[in-house]
Each structure stands twice: as structure tokens, then as C-alpha cells.
Structure 1
Amino acid sequence: MPRTKQQVEAIRQQRVMQIFDAALDVFAHKGFHSATIADIAQKAGIAKGLLYHYYSSKEELLSHIVINGMNNLIEKFDENHDGVLTDAEMELFINDMFRKIVENRNYWKLYFSVMLQPNVFSKELMQKLEGIYEPMVSILIQYFRRKGY
């Protein structure tokens, strides 16, 4: 019996997460430059060809990991999305941020190692990251100005 669209999508999502988790672990422990697609495929328990079905390169995979991690980190920032950060929202964000840093050590190990290396992030990835950071920084500036800083 053929699979439904929902079953196919569920399998695809499972594979993406399997590759994502394996790549994060390999990148965090071997470093981005030392890691290979073969290392990631082996860690994920899949063939290299299948990995290339989902990601065209390890740079694309790194981009997916970094963007996902940043979006995850800031999901509690300005939780009501009104553009105004309250003290309660700031406290929630800080507590959530520290919890996520502790829980996702591999991500932060990877993030800081690649941020400190020149030319690891493509211009496209840097633009995406800036698109995530800029609204947040603007809201933070407004918050601290209201506080008299």
C-alpha cells in the first residue's frame, strides 16, 4: 500500500532531525572544517547519498543548524510580539536563554567555534542572522533607554 502524504512528510521530518542531530554532534566535536559529510552520514546511520538528498552541502547543513538554534534561542523574546519588552518578558527571556544554553551545549560549542573562525559563515547566512538579531537588538535598545541607560 502506498504511503500517504502525511506519512511521507513524517518520514522526511524524521530524517531531517536525524541528520540535524548527527551533524550538530559531529560539528561540535570535530569542528566544522574537520567534519565530513561521510562522518555525519555515519553518525546518522544513513548513506551519504541520502544526506545529499536533504542537504546540498555541509555549509547548507551548518546554516540550517545555526538559524534553527538562533530562532530557538529567541522564541521567548518579546513573547507577545508587540515590539515592547517588559521587565517580565526580559526576565522570562534571560531565564529561558540560560536554560537553553545549558541544555544545548553542543549547539553553543559549535556556534562559538564557527563565529570565531573567519569565512565560515557565508554572506547569505550572515544576512539571515542579522535579520534575526536586528529586530531583537532594536527592542533591547528601546528597553534599556526606557530604563535610563
Structure 2
Amino acid sequence: MTKRMEQKEQRRILILESALDLFIRKGYGETKIVDIAKTADMSIGLLFHYFDSKEKLYEELIRIGSKKLKMEFAFSDDAPLTFFRAAAEDIFQIISANPVAAKMFVLMESAQHLDSLSPDVKEMLSEADKLIKKSVPIIEKGQLLGEIKAGNPETLSIAFWCSLQGIAQYIALNPEVPCPEADWIVSVLEKKENG
């Protein structure tokens, strides 16, 4: 990669990170293209050289978030609680190692509430629901094995995944806060010995 290409890529990353920070703090509607250019310390004209519009910039962030946050968890025959513990540990490791990842959780959640997104972007955002649904049979298996507490499996899946989402959102806005232990989150599902 030539020095010029490296500079272009660094500028592109700077624009994306500046926009991401503004989108999660101010929201999509309140963030103006001039704000993004100012935060990235460049002219609006230069920013438009990289992205045609605020909408295209936002969609690019969603594409990146969908790829990076798309977790291909191994839905194996392991013990169900082992699967959920590994998922929580993986997510906490990702957001601890890379603060931008925590911000992506915030962006992806808030993007789900925008009506103006294209159908292909909305499809990318539907992955979170798919993860919740894919976890239901694992919870049912854990209930049969006596590892996971009784209750509606889909509701338990929502409680687990939304707990992780909320923690990631909090850490995105408060990066000095450490991640909790994965077992604390897994305890949302775990059947207690006396219960």
C-alpha cells in the first residue's frame, strides 16, 4: 500500500470514527454533516470526497457493524451454559480490547428504530433478532438438562442478549468502566440449586 493510499484509508477511518461517536452521543437526526467534518478536522468538501451523504456514511457504519458484530457462535452440543458463558466472554473481550466495538453496539441498536433505512440495511440489522431466536433451542436443552431455570425460553434469551447489549452501550458511553464478569450475566439463565 502506498503512502497516499494509507493516508486516504486513515482519513476514511477518522471520518467513520468521528461520525460513530457523534451518532451515538447526539443521535442520527441531530448529527449534521458539518459536525462530522469539524470533529474529523477536515472540510465538508473533503468529507464528501469519501462519502456522498450523511446517509451513506451511516449505512457504511451499519455495514461495518454488521460484519464485525456478527457473531458466528458455534451452536454445538456443548453444555448450554458453556455456550452462553463463552458468548459473554467473547463479547466482553471484544469491547474491552476495542472501544469502537462497544460504540457499534449502540449504533446498531439505535439504527433499528430508524424508518428511513434501505431494506438491505434493515436486513443487516435483523441479525440481533436471529441470534435471540437461535438461542431458544439451546435454552430449551438447558432446561431439560436442569442447567437453565424454568421460564419462557425466548424471554430468557431476550434477557441474556439484552443484558449484554445494555452493558456494551453503557461502556461505550463510559469507557473507563470495566466489563463485568461473564458469570454475572450467565446467572440470568442459571438454575439455582434451591430454585
2:62 aligned to 43, 47, 66, which one? Answer: 66
Q: Which runs of 5+ in 2 are unaligned?
A: 145-152, 154-195
1:113 aligned to 105, 110, 114, which one? Answer: 110
Partner residue, 2:34: 38
Q: CA 1:113–1:91 in structure 2 vs 1: closer, same or farther (change >3 Å)?
A: same
Deviation at 1:69, TM superposition (A): 2.2
The one-character-per-residue Cα deviations of 1:90-123 (angstroms, maximum 9, x if unpaired) are 422222224556745543444333323x414222
Q: How many equivalent residue pairs? A: 139
Between structure 1 and structure 2, the one with the greater Rg is: 2
Note if contact 2:37-2:43 (Cα within 8 Å) is conserved in structure 1. Answer: yes
Letter in 1 for 2:91: M
Q: Which moved more, 1:17-26 or 1:83-92?
A: 83-92
| Greater than 6 Å deviation, 4+ residue runs | none
- Determine the C-alpha separation between the residues in 2 that align with 1:85 and 1:70: 26
- Determine the C-alpha separation between the residues in 2 that align with 1:85 and 1:40: 47
TM-score by length of 2: 0.56
The one-character-per-residue Cα deviations of 1:67-109 (angstroms, maximum 9, x if unpaired) are 322332234x32xx6x647454542222222455674554344
1:93 aligned to 64, 84, 87, which one? Answer: 87
Deviation at 1:9, TM superposition (A): 2.6
Deviation at 1:37, TM superposition (A): 0.8
Identity among equivalent pairs (%): 23
Note if contact 1:55-1:61 (Cα within 8 Å) is conserved in structure 2. Answer: yes
Note if contact 1:25-1:106 (Cα within 8 Å) is conserved in structure 2. Answer: yes
Note if contact 2:19-2:36 (Cα within 8 Å) is conserved in structure 1. Answer: yes
Partner residue, 1:6: 2
CA RMSD of aligned residues (A): 3.0
Q: Which moved more, 1:60-69 or 1:35-44?
A: 60-69
- Determine the C-alpha separation between the residues in 2 that align with 1:114 and 1:127: 12
